[in-house]
Amino acid sequence: MAYHLAARFCKNTVSCKFAKAINFSCLRCNVSTVVSSSFEFPNFKTHNELHEFSINKTDEFWASLAHSRLKWLKSFHTTQQCNMDEGKFAWFFGGQLNIADNCVDRHALVKPDKVALIWEKDEPGNQQLVTYRELQEMTCRIANVLKAHGVQKGDRVAIYMPNSPIAVASMLACVRIGAMHTVVFAGFSTEALAARIQDASCTAVITSDQALRGGKIIELKRTVDAAVAKCPSVKHVFVSQRTGADLPNMPLDLPLDKLMAQACQHSAIEIMESEDPSFMLYTSGSTGKPKGIQHSTAGYLLYASVTHQSVFNVGPDDVYACVADIGWITGHSYVVYGPLANGATTVLFESVPTYPDPGRYWEMVERLQINQFYTAPTAIRLLLKAGDAWPQKYNLSSLKVLGCVGEPLNHEAWHWYNELIGQSKCDLVDTWWQTETGGICITPRPSEAGAEIIAGMPMRPFFGIEPAILDSSQKLLEGNDVIGSLCIKKPWPGIARTIYGDHERYLDTYFRPFPGYYFSGDGAHRHSNGYYQVTGRTDDVINVSGHRLGTAEVEDAINEHAAVAESAVIGIPHPIKGEGIYAFLVLKDDVVLDQVCIVSEVNSLVSTAIAKFAVPDHILIVPALPKTRSGKIMRRILRKLVAGETEFGDVSTLADPSIVQVIARLHLDSNRNLM
Ligand code: WTA
């Protein structure tokens, strides 16, 4: 018996005409006859054998999957040309393909009536089904509208929309014509949106009149209007109707739904080279300016497809739900590209976990008969707090796999998720990955049949992933029970190829800190059993509800306040959000404003400059910050002080060591229950 990546849920393994030639997956028997079947692959009896092969014969491993899982317009001639030292990555060289062809057309051809998307609208109990044929039609119509308005291969298009079929079709329309989309989370402010549009020099924006989230109206179009006023590169704003609100017409506006109705429902695909960029997505780093992480075409798609299928064990008739927003990488890889490349049925969740009540997810699981459910630890903690009665009201027996991503899943939340939601019979996959990795890299599944899953860690590297832990002197830590910086040694197809417009920053951030390795920015503990636990960021990045924020980004926003001389921001433990934000402010000498007023103005500045989720949980006004003589803010000391520690280590490098005790006293006096 061969080991199949998707063996457990496949009903067609025996009858699949390609099963003998390709022992990886029977995906092709549900998908399309155009998938290449020429590649011979040796039999593997166990997961471990296959995993070993993926590490020792990485090229053969990925080449075979690239042949069997993707539809190529022209086959590749070189599997990879990568160099970790130089941060250079090229996979499936010489190959040509199109992502929309792979995610929509090939499925629409053989199973047009299969449901591609289940749109779980904000209005409770109000789902809408979109088949592969319908998704193809929508995608082609939008592609034609974009082309008719001058959008070409290589152009950048910003998408600022709620989770909706039209947003997914817009993403697919971009990749269909070879334009790079940059989806901006619809909770970002005008300034954050404008900064992204400017950095990417987007020529078009696709948006909706309004969004609905938890019954509340979000003024997307108004935010776009204000942003676009600062973005001369934008030539067109395509506006789709979500609520039908009567909004003022701006000179660049075009009615997307109307233009789609007039456009042809067929559209040619752009032939893309494997390494052509597919999209970019902004994420925060340790400096003030968010970085446009740019992904490839073939490598990204293959990695999203393989990880989606095998981590979640998605079968042909399953209903798979990842409740992430398309504005984050999880939405890209595991709501849109991975599931659609696999011809799956993917749920598109527009709402919030507590609307109309904290039973929303579980009522949806029962109603839609969801088999795989993927969410974020912050949502699990929030729902845990709401009590057991909510999940107990619903029949959750359809669930087979539960997943989470974004931050560590603490033990209490893990057990609640496993026992209350999974009823102790689901695989619970705590998956570790990043915007930059393109897809899941460390995950308890796939693994040997029946292998243990331990709470609180992602445990095992995925196929082809070789994690490494290094210490601060760049020394590789061998053996088990070691703690250090989490790196990855071997190139994998999903790795981001650059930071848009700033390749030096890409090299500085990911490849220069530990030469020869990709550096994740996270710390990790390889336990005595060899399993990996991710301990959190080692850089100045805060993870609020799974959303990455640079301390500098928040400080820049705070420092805009006329009364603020400088500020320092740190992450602090938060029971629901994982991390909250604590901001220390130093005011200018001549400030006469009331402190309460300053705090409220600072909050509103951050909300305007970034987003609501970036607003500090605590603000403390202090006379000075702990700084080295060279002026570097020692956030480490602030973190210790807030954690209640009284030992601050060596403070002799500080310009004024006495300030530490002053801040500690003010912090205690502020009389807030932080922990
Ligand atoms: C954190 C999200 C612990 C980590 C896909 C990483 C995690 C950052 C886990 C990436 C996990 C993600 N356990 N920490 N299972 N998953 N993280 O780019 O700090 O939004 O670097 O990608 O989230 O966040 P990003």
Q: 520 alpha carbon to ligand 1 midpoint, in Å? A: 10
Residue 408 Cβ contacting ligand 1 at under 6 Å: yes
Choose between 671 and 180: higher pLDDT. Answer: 180
Question: 329 — phi, psi (to 5°)?
Answer: -65, -30
Determine the average pLDDT of the residues in 212-236.
Answer: 97
pLDDT higher than 90, residue 370:
yes
Q: In the predicted model, what is the mean pLDDT of residues 277-305? A: 92
Q: Which residue's alpha carbon is nearest to atom 24 within ligand 1?
A: 434
Question: For residue 10, what are the CA distances in angstroms to 44, 106, 147, 598?
Answer: 17, 20, 40, 60
Q: What is the mean pLDDT of the chain?
A: 91
User: Can you tell me which atom of ligand 1 is nearest the CA of 405?
Assistant: 16
pLDDT confidence of residue 249? 94
CB-based contacts of 160: which residues, under 8 Å, 6+ apart?
A: 183, 184, 186, 188, 193, 205, 206, 207, 220, 223, 224
Q: How many CB atoms lie within 10 A of CB 80?
A: 19
pLDDT band for position 593 (50/70/90)?
confident
Any ligand 1 atom below 6 A from CB of 435:
yes
Give the per-residue pLDDT at 674.
46
Q: Degrees (nearest 5) of the Cα angle 295, 131, 72?
A: 40
Q: List phi, psi (to 5°) of 144.
A: -65, -40
pLDDT at 655: 82
Is the Cβ–Cβ distance between 196 and 158 less than 8 Å?
yes
Contact, 307 vs 333, CB < 8 A? yes
Substitution candidate for ligand 1 out of 183, 294, 325, 433 with most atoms within 8 A of CB: 433
Residue 5 pLDDT > 90: no
Element (H, E) at 505: helix 503-506
Over the Cα atoms of the chain, what is R_g? 25
Q: How confident is the model at residue 343 (pLDDT cuts 50, 70, 90)?
A: very high
pLDDT mean over 562-572? 92
Tokens of 111: 């199973």
Per the CB < 8 A criterion, the answer to whether 75 and 67 are in contact is yes
| Contact 427 CB / ligand 1 (< 6 Å) | no
| pLDDT in the model for residue 653 | 75
Complete edge-to-edge strand list for the sheet that includes strand 253-255:
253-255, 236-240, 204-208, 156-160, 180-183, 279-283, 291-295, 498-499
CB neighbourhood size of 293 (10 A): 24
pLDDT of residue 40: 32
Confidence of residue 672 (pLDDT cuts 50, 70, 90): low
Phi–psi pair at 500, nearest 5 degrees: -55, 125
Choose the weakest-confidence range: 241-245, 485-489, 595-599.
Answer: 595-599
Domain extents for the chain?
1-69, 100-109+126-280, 545-674
Give residue-wise pLDDT tens across range 614-670: 999 999 999 999 987 777 788 889 999 998 888 887 777 788 889 999 999 999 988
pLDDT digits (tens, 9 = 90+) for 529-554: 999 999 888 888 899 998 989 888 89
The answer to whether the CB of 522 is under 6 A from ligand 1 is: yes
d(CA 599, CA 222): 27
β pairing state of 236-240 and 204-208: parallel
* Centroid of ligand 1 to alpha carbon of 52 (angstroms): 25
The verdict on the CB of residue 543 being under 6 Å from ligand 1 is yes
Percentage above 70 pLDDT, the chain: 93
CA–CA dist 245, 264 (Å, integer) = 27
The whole-number pLDDT of residue 610 equals: 93
Lowest mean pLDDT among 208-222, 273-287, 350-364, 493-507: 273-287
Paired residues of 91 in beta bridges? 80
Q: Residue 31 has what pLDDT? A: 32
Look at residue 282 in the predicted model and tell me its pLDDT: 96
Query: DSSP string spanning 447-470?
Result: -STT----TT--BSBPTT--EEEE
What the block records as the tokens of 293 is 């992480």
CATH fold, domain 545-674, is: GMP Synthetase; Chain A, domain 3 (3.30.300)
Mean pLDDT within 302-307: 97
Lowest mean pLDDT among 20-24, 434-438, 498-502: 20-24
pLDDT of 45 reads 81
Q: Give the model confidence (pLDDT) of 502-525 as tens digits.
A: 999 999 999 999 999 999 999 999
In ligand 1, the atom with minimum distance to the C-alpha of 520 is 21
DSSP for 94-130, written as a single string: T-EE-HHIIIIIHHHHH-TTSEEEEEE-SSTT-EEEE
271 DSSP 8-state letter = P
Expressed in angstroms and rounded, the spacing between residue 170 Cα and the centre of ligand 1 is 26
Where helices occur in 34-180 by DSSP H, the ranges are: 47-56, 58-69, 99-100, 106-110, 132-148, 165-177
Is the minimum distance from the CB of 444 to ligand 1 under 6 angstroms?
no
pLDDT of residue 37: 30
Could you count the other beta carbons within 10 Å of the beta carbon of residue 363?
17
Report pLDDT for 44.
Answer: 83
| Among the listed residues 50, 107, 62, the one whose alpha carbon sits nearest the alpha carbon of residue 89 | 62
Three-state DSSP state, 427: strand
Q: Is 510 in the pocket of ligand 1 (CB under 6 A)?
A: no
Mutation test residue for ligand 1: of 308, 430, 548, the one with most atoms within 8 Å of CB? 548
Considering the domain 100-109+126-280 in this protein, what is its CATH number? 3.40.50.12780
Atom of ligand 1 nearest to the CA of 283: 18
- 32-54 average pLDDT score: 62
Return the ligand 1 atom nearest residue 333 CA: 5
Residue pLDDT, tens place only, 66-96: 999 999 999 999 999 999 999 999 999 999 9
pLDDT at 4: 53
Whose CA is closest to 203, among 238, 224, 233, 177? 233
Q: How many residues does the chain have?
A: 675
CA dist 308 and 318 (Å) reads: 13
Contact partners, residue 284, CB within 8 Å, separation at least 6? 290, 291, 541, 548, 549, 550, 553
Per-residue pLDDT tens for 437-479? Answer: 999 999 999 999 889 999 999 999 999 999 999 999 999 999 9
Q: Which atom of ligand 1 is nearest to the CA of 330?
A: 5
